[in-house]
Structure 1
Amino acid sequence: MCHYHHLTLSERENLLFFRAQSYSISRIAAALGRDKSTISRELRRNTVNGKYLPITAQQQYARRRKACKPHKRLENAELFALVKNLFLVHHWSPEEIAGRLQLEHQKALLSYATIYRAIYAGMFDETSSSHGSRGAVRRLRHHGKSRHTRQYQERRGSIPISHDISERPAGAANRSRRGHWECDTIAGKTGKACLVTLVDRKSRYLVGGKAAKKTAQAVNTVLLQVLQGQPVKSLTPDRGKEFAHHAAVTEALNGVPFYFPRACEKISVNIDLL
């Protein structure tokens, strides 16, 4: 959720005051100049045992924000330069880079999942890259080339499916275990940005973040950010094109599977939450 404009401590204190005055969520949102969903989400995420405490909410936000930052080991300039060179110049995959580092240093110096997160966070992007503003993420092998021949047929209406929803484990199907998430997106007013939401099927705990564009690359970045520190056993999105690159998330999350509904079905997790 690093890209989401969070409430300030002052706004959280005002929110507590307005709640004590029995203001509705709509009225609080208007008073703070915020969207209703922002207020609703704030209360839902930071209310503990029926109480909302601004200081506690601010501390929880600070912890989540810290979790969004790139791995500290990549703050080492020499290691960062080595990983960047192997990825951008020699076209090594994150798995190959992590494996070589472990082989040379006799220990797991850096996981491939951390390298994937750094790539999606834009740490290796270069303005001079031949891929333009799309950045280093375009160098990942599973993305392939974007140029097409005259014989190219449009296939953007369908995405590769890894698992059918009927294959979900019992803990996900009957909502008996945490860590099984349903994913969805909500388009912004301009039609460009979108809100990516994830709801735990058992607890109904909601997390989310803003994607600058409703693209697979942008949505993947948000998914990896908001799931940091969360138990993740499976992910169930709909068949929207924004989830087309789900394989990259599976790789970054150490094999967490995606389950997709049938073409005639649609997953919706936002109706009763926003």
Structure 2
Amino acid sequence: MDSLHSTMNQHIKGKHLSFEERVIIQTRLKDGLSIRAIARELDRSPSTVSYEVKRGTVLLYHGKRKRYKADHGQSVYQTNRRHCGRKSDFLKKSRFIQYVNQHFFNDGWSLDVCSNRCRAIGEFSSSEVVCTRTLYNYVDRGLLDIKNYDLPEKLKRNTKLHHVRKNKKKLGRSIEERPKEIDQRKEFGHWECDLVLGHKTKDDEVLLTLSERMSREFLIIRIPDKTSASVMQAFKGLQRQYSEHWNDIFKTITTDNGSEFADLSNLEKISNTLVYYAHPYTSCDKGTVERHNGLIRRFIPKGDIITHYSLQQIIDIETWCNSLPRKILAYHTPDEIFERELDRIYQTA
């Protein structure tokens, strides 16, 4: 007994039983020791020894006798170990993986959209897909055709320091006067506005961008330059387009303090639209439109001449942005939400 005990390794809490410990259990049971006595010798819980005895017991003499065998207990343990733990669903869900690759490369969807849009519209059941985190793990392990350099947001790093600058001119009503209810994004008709520039050293066209805060609908308007006159001309064109419904669709507009928006507050004189100006050098005050401008940069990199892009290409970019399912919209598209709100406005008019 002493020799067997001396050869046993000191027990480490949480460690599984070793074959040597199973041999000791077999020997002590043959000697007539109780489960609790064996557990004290092994420094184990009596339940651990009891469960092990049940797993390793075999029938002998044509089923007339039961006896614990260390080698059988070890065999059962190894079999159970092979079956434990989570197994990869990659091969079982090949149809979903093909769906991910197709929409990622052909439609520009994110992995999160691929994982959840199909469930939102009932194309796949929950048991047929894997979660967003698992898709990113597949990318890291090289199981997908998608690589990390295909994920611009994953590789993005913010290295700029935020500087608070004072004495910036104020062009109109401050964003601090904007009703707090607008921050909740529950009411339709509140927009953010900005400009996307092309080549800074050449005479080039500019993109006027607007994003509706609730639906995330995104408008891209091509204007000849970044003067305040060109910006106002674009807004007058929008006003003619929506005519009598303008006040219901464009309730407020939030923009920055750039000189190109100096005349935007004049909209208040000809309509019920209220214009708010963000804090100086605080782009997060209009983060929705800034985020959408980043989507434009996937197609028109900084420094590219916007004039080289056709009107149809600009329209295609706008269409792609508005047909991209969003997590924050329960994986519906901005177009779906925007059209629903327009229908409501037209029906109540």
Pairwise TM-score range, normalised by the shorter structure: 0.3 to 0.5
Higher helix share: 2
Structure whose alpha-carbon radius of gyration is higher: 2
Q: Does 1 or 2 have the higher relative contact order (CA < 8 Å, sep 6+)?
A: 1
Alignment TM-score, normalising by the size of structure 1: 0.40
